Amino acid sequence: MSAPLSSSRRGFLRSGAIGGAFLLGMSAEGVLAAATGAAGAAGADFVPNAFIRIARDGRVTLVSKQPEIGQGIKTSLPMVLAEELDVDWKDVRIVQGDLNPAFGSQGAGGSTSTPTNYNDFRRLGATARAMLVQAASQAWKVPAAECTTGGGFVVHGPSKRRLGYGALAGAASKLAVPAAEAVVLKDPASFKLLGKRIGGVDNAAIVSGKPLFGIDVQVPGMLYAVYAKCPVFGGKAVRANLNAIKAMPGVKDAFIVEGAGTLNNLRPGVAIVATSTWNAMRARRALEVEWDEGPGAGHSWADFTAQAKAASARPGASTMRKDGDVAAALKGAARTVEAAYSYPFISHASMEPQNCTAWIKDDGALELWAPTQNPGAGQALVSSLFNIPKEKITLHIIRSGGGFGRRLSSDFIVEATAIALKVKAPVKLTWTREDDLQHDHFRPGGFHFLRGGVDAQGKAVAWHNHFVTFANRVEREGQSVLQPGSGGNLSGDEFPGRWLPNVQLEQTALECRVPMGPWRAPGSCVFAWVFHSFIDELAHAGGRDPLEFRLELLGDKSVVPGTGERGQPYSVERMKAVLMTAADKAGWGKKKFPRGQGQGIAFHFSHRGYVAQVAEVTVSRDGKLKVDRVVVATDIGAQIVNLSGAENQVEGSVIDGLSTLMFPELNIEAGRIVQSNFHDYGLLRMPDAPAKIEVHFVKSDYPVTGLGEPALPPLAPAVCNAIFAATGKRVRELPLSKTDLSWT
């Protein structure tokens, strides 16, 4: 998704006639546009834009257009509308919008939902409020400047008269849209809703077990399907015992799907369609398939590790950055450090497995119900693969039971569509937990071979990183090229790239058939651990305090241009502010820890957010880790939209980050994932969660941004640096469970 447009492009309004109704929508570029009819029926509902409806009885309905994947956007974006509209939150009803061009961009990924919509939604709410004020001023024959709003009413101060929004709906619906410059946004100091703790709009339904998720969808006459794919990546079915499967109770059909075999396309497999999910899964257990495993059967993690080590001894295949003379700087350094860091492929492991319900109608129209993060891309992929015009595809965006980037891919949607086309009936496809774990689009594994040096004063003088990553072979413009997995590309702008005089960043890609995709805070989720762990190594090698060392690395400039994510300027000032806040709140350097206890610090910039964390840990003599406390300071701009949701995202990031540090690992043998379910794919349990998480928001005069990803990356290095402070042991391999932390 693109960055938000400038206010000059975003803020204009235009008028045109559309069937007597007033619609104020957002185009795909996020530009506000209005269409005003010549007349509106007296007493009609007031529908000032695609997201707001005010009924004659005063009921307010707001549309949430972004996919809800647990990040709280279904609550927070309507809060922005409600704030500027000036209505009581208790009087508002929220509905999930389906995929609709009138809503503009509807993807949820990269922590972009808030920054790409916040300013536009303020304008939408304020424009509707201005029209209600105008309707009241005309009814009372008083200047609009004498009118105020609050709680769903327009109030005339001098006469104390007031009218509810419902009573004004008919008159407001007949008004022309005011010019953009005539619409006054609220002063944030007067906000009544934004910045408060507001519970999620679906919370009551979730805790009471009401059907909300894709896996809950029911359609009359629906059949149920499972889809078996080759356990080796890139393999396909040759033959299967289809007749035996079709003869099983409750089975309606079973067939081989040829597929295309590409990452986000229709991969080959065997479909089983039955009268219930139980019958389909029972039949699958009896399925016998002869697979053509293809060249992917040669993959193994042990072989990848050997390839990476061999690659590290050669120059990198590509140079991402080269400044100064690293070799000379290392030779002249007072102390040097060499280290190899590695991390495995891991799964998204969302609680709700992938699923989709598809229904091909008699007229060729397709209706989809999908818990997707990227509905537009899903619709486009289905349209191109099956030659169905996009205008004939209706896609209902269903709440997701976790996403973390996995549901940006649409493979489960095209699988459901392929099956529905074959059986000519509505079909719900449900992946098993094993499908979800073994056929994920994984976070890429990686290897970093680092060298660094400090001078006699303990100042960093050299940094060399040879990054060995993984890539799939793809066709691009008629050529076969290697494309690194999402988050598997090392940017030359990554900290501390441009901050040091002697830097060399190299990259070598190992070709593989393992499907890879974005995983929460792609790249940053592992780079932060590597970089800030090695920075800590250099700080201790130079005899420096780790906080002081980091502040010195950041330097004196307030902004370093072109060194942030996607080429954005990197604000040193903002990073120093969160770093000092976290250190201050944690009491950095103010207490002496006994052996076995320690503090660690780290920071990272990702997805427009600046975050620093201090972790305090206790490691028993036999190596058992307990994270006692995590202090987080984050700068995500001038306004926290929903304080409850923001705290939830930070606390969840800390727990998810700790879980990912400690347990999950996918081993690859003979081209297939060894782990199959949660019994052998570990995740954090309650006793291992941090005893205390403190969240501090540092407000700054910068645009509002998202929070689903920025708070995760610094957790792992902060904890590992604290482990070193407690035990003297460095963690250079993930997961943490592979490192013996015992000490004497």
Residue 44: its pLDDT value, please?
A: 81
Q: Check pLDDT > 70 for residue 32.
A: no
Three-point CA angle 314, 318, 323, nearest 5°: 95
Residues 304, 445: contact at Cβ < 8 Å? yes
- Mean of pLDDT values over 472-489: 91
Mean pLDDT for the chain? 92
Domains of the chain: 7-190 (3.30.365.10), 215-294+354-430 (3.30.365.10), 315-346+442-738 (3.30.365.10)
Residues 405, 109: contact at Cβ < 8 Å? yes
Give the pLDDT confidence of 677-722 residue by residue, as tens digits. Answer: 999 999 999 999 999 999 999 999 999 999 999 999 999 999 999 9
Amino acid at 581: T
Give the pLDDT confidence of 169-200 residue by residue, as tens digits. Answer: 999 999 998 988 889 999 999 999 999 999 99
Give me the residue label for tokens 């005539």: 182
Looking at 8-22, 107-121, 186-200, 371-385, which range is the least confident one? 8-22
Q: Check pLDDT > 70 for residue 65.
A: yes
Give the pLDDT confidence of 508-543 residue by residue, as tens digits. Answer: 999 999 999 999 999 999 999 999 999 999 999 999
Residue 324: its pLDDT value, please?
A: 97
Give the span between the Cα atoms of 285 and 239, in whole angstroms: 16
Q: Check pLDDT > 50 for residue 30.
A: no
Residue 476: its pLDDT value, please?
A: 85
Q: Check pLDDT > 90 for residue 563.
A: no
Q: Check pLDDT > 70 for residue 550.
A: yes
Helix ranges, 141-227 (H): 165-173, 203-207
Give the pLDDT confidence of 78-93 residue by residue, as tens digits. Answer: 999 999 999 999 999 9
Three-point CA angle 124, 64, 17, nearest 5°: 45
Confidence tier at 37 by pLDDT (50, 70, 90): very low
Give the pLDDT confidence of 232-273 residue by residue, as tens digits. Answer: 999 999 999 999 999 999 999 999 999 875 655 899 999 999
Give me the residue label for tokens 């809703």: 193
* Exposure string for 450-483, b = 16+ CB within 10 A, e = fewer: bbbbbeeebbbbbbbbbbbbbbbeeeeeeeeeeb
Give the pLDDT confidence of 288-317 residue by residue, as tens digits. Answer: 999 999 999 999 999 999 999 999 999 999
Q: Check pLDDT > 60 for residue 652.
A: yes
Residues 497, 321: contact at Cβ < 8 Å? yes
Structure tokens at 695: 């969240």
- Could you tell me whether strands 335-343 and 355-360 are parallel, antiparallel, or unpaired per DSSP bridges? unpaired
User: Of 226, 230, 225, nearest to 268 (Cα)?
Assistant: 230
Q: Check pLDDT > 90 for residue 734.
A: yes
Confidence tier at 564 by pLDDT (50, 70, 90): low
Instruction: Please count the other Cβ atoms lying within 10 Å of the Cβ belonging to residue 694.
Output: 18
Residue 29: its pLDDT value, please?
A: 30
644 sits in which H/E element = helix 643-662
Cβ within 8 Å of residue 580, ≥6 positions away: none
Q: Check pLDDT > 60 for residue 21.
A: no
Residue 542: its pLDDT value, please?
A: 98
Confidence tier at 558 by pLDDT (50, 70, 90): confident
Residues 11, 32: contact at Cβ < 8 Å? yes
Residues 369, 217: contact at Cβ < 8 Å? yes
Residue 264: its pLDDT value, please?
A: 58
Give the span between the Cα atoms of 85 and 15, in whole angstroms: 21
Give the span between the Cα atoms of 499 and 554, in whole angstroms: 7
Cβ within 8 Å of residue 513, ≥6 positions away: 233, 234, 294, 295, 296, 299, 472, 671
The reply to whether omega before 735 is within 30° of 0 (cis) is yes
Residue 475: its pLDDT value, please?
A: 85
Residue 477: its pLDDT value, please?
A: 84
Residue 31: its pLDDT value, please?
A: 27
The angle that helices 165-173 and 113-140 make with each other, rounded to 10 degrees, is: 90
Say what percent of the chain tops pLDDT 70. 93
726, with CB counted inside 10 A (0-12, 13-18, 19+), is buried
Cβ within 8 Å of residue 294, ≥6 positions away: 232, 234, 235, 236, 513
Question: Looking at residue 424, what DSSP letter applies?
Answer: T
Give the span between the Cα atoms of 32 and 24, in whole angstroms: 7
Confidence tier at 43 by pLDDT (50, 70, 90): very low
Structure tokens at 47: 């529908």
DSSP 562-586: T-SGGGPPEEHHHHHHHHHHHHHHH
Residues 453, 337: contact at Cβ < 8 Å? yes
Give the pLDDT confidence of 123-164 residue by residue, as tens digits. Answer: 999 999 999 999 999 999 999 999 999 999 999 999 999 999
- Mean of pLDDT values over 353-379: 97
Residue 328: its pLDDT value, please?
A: 98
